[in-house]
């Protein structure tokens, strides 16, 4: 018996409301209705304390890439806990899980991304990146190069550094952020902001804002540009095809480091190991987390190019977390990568799941409420609109239609998320065609209930 089985749902919910503050939730929001208590999961299916099965269209928070309930990971974790539950890598020691995972990531990552600095998740890996790129330029004798350019509506985490790099104004408002030295350009969100331009024209226009910003700040002051290959939490904003090549060109022209935040896009989500490969980006640094361990253990990392890592030779990088390269998390991540690779999960995405999901997802565009339906690999969005021709938005004062749709999905036992009037999904990569059909059927039913 588990703890959850000891208490009735209402009691669990009351305890939760009394003592547990939830991230990104109003303090009293769950007092009346109570949080849904999740007690178990297998594959793509969550189970709540009432025994209801829920199809998880978000893979937790975009992270459970191999699906729930893989015994291999539990066994590896238990074995590692018995053998060496913890040791640090600070003071001239290492251990096998950390070094083997670093080696594996260097093999998988494109180009000369051959060096790994471990963190506990994506936010603090991005904190590492802020200090790393500024240290890089300082060590190269250009300490004034400390500005990092990011994008409005980007999400790079919830620490002080991650929130600062992110472009979510609501988050900046709490805690007097961003920290100094972060600049923003607009996102390549054609549906919402493209006006009369074609997506290709718009992609170029938005990428060229980077060059304008570099000139405004002064090229000698810019350290790096950071972007998610596909913006995730911002609403699965798939950039026009012209966008990343132009960003890449500008970074090269001004010798600016490019950080690809692969926290969502990594580990098969876009159909390749990394979103940078799908979108044709050649980053100097990649941020990874989430799918690195499929969420089974907290772990993140910065994967760093030879060029950047070399600058730290002879320099002590005064940075690190107690749990950088935690042996249990590393062992779990290694086993997760083995499953993604050897058990054919990435192949399943490429050959089965992504083509099937694409066909079914794009067909949602015929629904009266749906404007564009966008999908890359296993991350997808639909824009809800009262007028497909003008790409109008719903009024937001009476609660967005997206919010209502999300609630309907919840009631229909499928987890989808909403960002304003965009509905988004990111299911486990192991989802079968039959489960995709159930997901789409429930999504359509929920949309119908919003009419």
In the complex, minimum distance from the CB of residue 398 to ligand PLP, in angstroms, rounded to a whole number? 28
Other CB atoms within a 10 A radius of the CB of residue 39 amount to 16
In the complex, minimum distance from the CB of residue 260 to ligand PLP, in angstroms, rounded to a whole number? 10
| DSSP per residue, 171-195 | HHTTTT-SPTTEEEE----HHHH-T
In the complex, minimum distance from the CB of residue 374 to ligand PLP, in angstroms, rounded to a whole number? 17
Q: Which is nearer to ligand PLP, 141 or 170 (CB)?
A: 170
How far apart are alpha carbons 293 and 322 in whole angstroms? Answer: 18
Determine the longest span between alpha carbons in the chain, in angstroms. Answer: 64
User: Rg for the chain (alpha carbons), in Å?
Assistant: 22
Q: Which is nearer to ligand PLP, 150 or 446 (CB)?
A: 150
Closest by Cα among 43, 68, 59, 46 to 377: 59
Q: Where are the beta strands (DSSP E) in 199-243?
A: 222-227
In the complex, minimum distance from the CB of residue 263 to ligand PLP, in angstroms, rounded to a whole number? 3
Q: Which is nearer to ligand PLP, 275 or 371 (CB)?
A: 275
DSSP designation for 352: I
Residue 331 near residue 135, CB atoms below 8 Å: no
CA separation, residue 357 to residues 151, 273, 340, 361, 438 (Å): 29, 18, 19, 6, 11
Q: Which is nearer to ligand PLP, 203 or 227 (CB)?
A: 227
Helical H segments across 55-168, by residue range: 59-62, 71-83, 96-108, 122-139, 160-165
In the complex, minimum distance from the CB of residue 125 to ligand PLP, in angstroms, rounded to a whole number? 7
In the complex, minimum distance from the CB of residue 289 to ligand PLP, in angstroms, rounded to a whole number? 4
For ligand PLP, the nearest residue by Cβ is 122
Respond yes or no on whether the N-terminal peptide bond of residue 76 is cis (omega within 30° of 0): no
CA separation, residue 170 to residues 153, 381, 421 (Å): 10, 22, 17
Residue 354 near residue 65, CB atoms below 8 Å: no
Closest by Cα among 283, 266, 288 to 275: 266
Q: Which is nearer to ligand PLP, 283 or 371 (CB)?
A: 283
Q: Which is nearer to ligand PLP, 337 or 450 (CB)?
A: 337
Interface residues toward ligand PLP, by CB under 6 A? 61, 121-123, 126, 155-157, 162, 228, 232-233, 261, 263-264, 289, 300
Q: Which is nearer to ligand PLP, 12 or 303 (CB)?
A: 303
Q: Which is nearer to ligand PLP, 123 or 446 (CB)?
A: 123
In the complex, minimum distance from the CB of residue 109 to ligand PLP, in angstroms, rounded to a whole number? 16
In the complex, minimum distance from the CB of residue 262 to ligand PLP, in angstroms, rounded to a whole number? 8
């Amino acid at each position: 018996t588990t703890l959850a089985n000891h208490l009735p749902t209402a009691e669990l919910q009351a305890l939760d409301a009394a003592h547990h503050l939830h991230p990104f939730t109003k303090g009293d929001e769950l007092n009346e209705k109570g949080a849904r208590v999740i007690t178990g999961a297998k594959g793509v299916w969550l189970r709540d304390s009432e025994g209801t099965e829920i199809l998880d269209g978000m893979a937790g928070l975009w992270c459970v890439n191999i699906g729930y309930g893989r015994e291999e990971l539990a066994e590896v974790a238990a074995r590692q806990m018995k053998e060496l539950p913890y040791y640090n890598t600070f003071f001239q020691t290492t251990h096998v899980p950390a070094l083997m995972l670093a080696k594996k990531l260097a093999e998988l990552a494109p180009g000369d991304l051959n060096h790994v600095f471990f963190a506990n998740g994506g936010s603090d890996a991005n904190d590492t990146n802020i200090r790393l790129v500024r240290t890089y330029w300082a060590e190269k004798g250009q300490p004034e190069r400390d500005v990092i350019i990011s994008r409005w509506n980007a999400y790079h985490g919830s620490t002080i550094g991650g929130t600062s790099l992110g472009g979510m104004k609501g988050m900046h408002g709490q805690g007097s952020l961003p920290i100094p030295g972060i600049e923003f350009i607009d996102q390549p969100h054609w549906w919402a902001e493209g006006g009369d331009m074609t997506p290709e024209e718009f992609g170029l226009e938005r990428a060229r804002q980077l060059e304008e910003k570099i000139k405004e700040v002064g090229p000698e002051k810019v350290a790096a540009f950071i972007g998610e290959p596909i913006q995730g939490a911002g609403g699965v904003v798939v950039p026009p095809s012209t966008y990343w090549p132009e960003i890449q060109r500008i970074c090269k022209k001004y010798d600016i480091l490019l950080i690809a935040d692969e926290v969502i896009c990594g580990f098969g989500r876009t159909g390749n190991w990394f979103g940078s490969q799908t979108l044709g980006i050649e980053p100097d640094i990649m941020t990874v987390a989430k799918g690195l361990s499929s969420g089974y253990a907290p772990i993140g990392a910065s994967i760093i190019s030879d060029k950047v890592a070399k600058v730290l030779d002879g320099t002590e990088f005064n940075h690190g977390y107690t749990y950088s390269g935690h042996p249990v998390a590393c062992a779990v991540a290694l086993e997760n990568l083995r499953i993604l690779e050897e058990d054919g999960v990435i192949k399943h995405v490429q050959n089965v799941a992504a083509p099937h999901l694409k066909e079914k997802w794009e067909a949602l565009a015929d629904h009266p409420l749906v404007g564009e339906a966008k999908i890359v690999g296993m991350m997808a969005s639909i824009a809800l609109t009262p007028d497909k021709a003008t790409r109008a938005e719903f009024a937001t004062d009476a609660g967005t239609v997206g919010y209502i749709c999300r609630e309907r999905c919840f009631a229909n036992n499928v987890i989808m998320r909403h960002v304003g009037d965009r509905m988004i999904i990111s299911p486990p990569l192991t989802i079968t065609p039959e489960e995709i059909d159930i997901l789409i059927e429930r999504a359509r039913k929920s949309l119908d209930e919003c009419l």
